[in-house]
């Protein structure tokens, strides 16, 4: 399955990236293809394009703060979780897909 995701935590130093890594690792393990956009202290990295979002089945939003350009995700099914959930038990998020 094609999945997109966004991670964003308040400080944007550590957990944004840890959550991204956790989602990427778990997706690989479960045989999904995933692209994770991080919105941390360095701004938007690995930015998701319109076509990547449109081509995905679901968007995992592991965010604790309001993200930049949220309108890009208006037309896609979203699973919204706290950043902590992505770190603690990423499998549980994928189970909701």
Partner 1 sequence: MPLDFSFSCPLPNGVHARPASALEEVARTFTADVVLLNQRTGRSANAKSILSIVGADIRFSDPCLLKVSGLDEERAIAALGAFIRNTLPRQETELPTFTASEGELELPRCLEKSGAVFRRGTAVVPGIAQGQIVRAGGFNVPDGLPMDDVVDTLAEQRRVNDALDELIAWYGRRASAAGKGIESDLLVAHRSLARDEEFRACLLDAIAARHRTAAGAIADAEARFTKVFSDSENPLLHERVLDIQDVCAQLLQRVYGNETATRSLTLTEDSIVVADSLTPCQFLFLDCRLLKGLVLAEAGTTSHTVILARSFGVPTLVGVENIEGLAEKAQAVVDADIGVLVTNLTDTARRYYTMEHQRLDGRQAVLRNFGGKLATTRDGHAIEIAANIATFEEADRAFTAGAEGIGLFRTEMLFLDRASAPDEAEQHEIYNRVIEAANGRQVIIRTMDVGGDKALSYLNLAAEQNPFLGYRAVRIYPQFESLFRIQVRALVRASAHGPLRIMIPMISRLEEIRWAKKIIAEEQALCIAESKPFDKKMQIGAMIEVPSAAFALEEFCREVDFFSIGSNDLLQYFMAVDRADSRIASLYNPLQPAFLRLLKQIVDAARANKKWIGLCGEMGGQIRYLPLLAGLGLNEISVSAPAIAGLKAELSRLDLPDCQQLFAAALKCATADEVGVLLDKFSAQHSLPLLAPEMVVINADATTKEEAIKRGVDLLYIHGRTEQPRAVEEAIWKREANYSTGFGHGFAIPHCKSSAVNANSVVVLKFAEPVPWNSLDDKPVRVVILMVIHESDSATEHMKIISALARQVTHESFRESIEKEQNPERLCAFLKSKIGC
Question: Contacts with partner 1 in 48-87 (CB under 8 A)?
Answer: 64, 82, 84, 87
The SS3 assignment for 86 reads helix
The DSSP line for 8-72 is E-SS-SSHHHHHHHHHHHHHHHHT-EEEEEEEETTEEESPPPHHHHHT-SEEEEEESSPPSSGGG
Q: Map residue 97 onto helix, strand or coil.
A: coil
Which position among 3, 9, 56, 59 bears the catalytic label? Answer: 9
Residue 40 touches partner 1, criterion: CB under 8 A: yes
Size of the site for partner 1 (CB under 8 A): 23
By beta-carbon proximity to partner 1, the closer residue of 4 and 36 is: 36
CB of 74 to partner 1, least distance (A): 28
**Burial category of 11 from C-beta neighbours within 10 Å (exposed 0-12, middle 13-18, buried 19 and up):** exposed
9 is catalytic: yes
Nearer to partner 1, 21 or 52 (CB): 21
Instruction: Give residues in contact with partner 1 (CB under 8 A).
Output: 9-11, 13-18, 20-22, 25, 38, 40-43, 64, 82, 84, 87-88
């Amino acid at each position: 399955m094609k999945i997109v995701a966004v991670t964003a935590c308040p400080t944007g130093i550590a957990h944004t990236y840890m959550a991204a890594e956790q989602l990427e690792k778990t997706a690989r393990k479960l045989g999904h293809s995933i692209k994770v956009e991080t919105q941390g202290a360095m701004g938007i990295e690995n930015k998701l394009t319109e076509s990547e979002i449109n081509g995905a089945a679901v968007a995992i939003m592991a965010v604790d703060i309001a993200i930049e350009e949220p309108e890009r995700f208006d037309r896609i099914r979203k699973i919204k979780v706290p950043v902590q959930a992505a770190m603690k038990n990423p499998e549980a998020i994928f189970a909701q897909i």
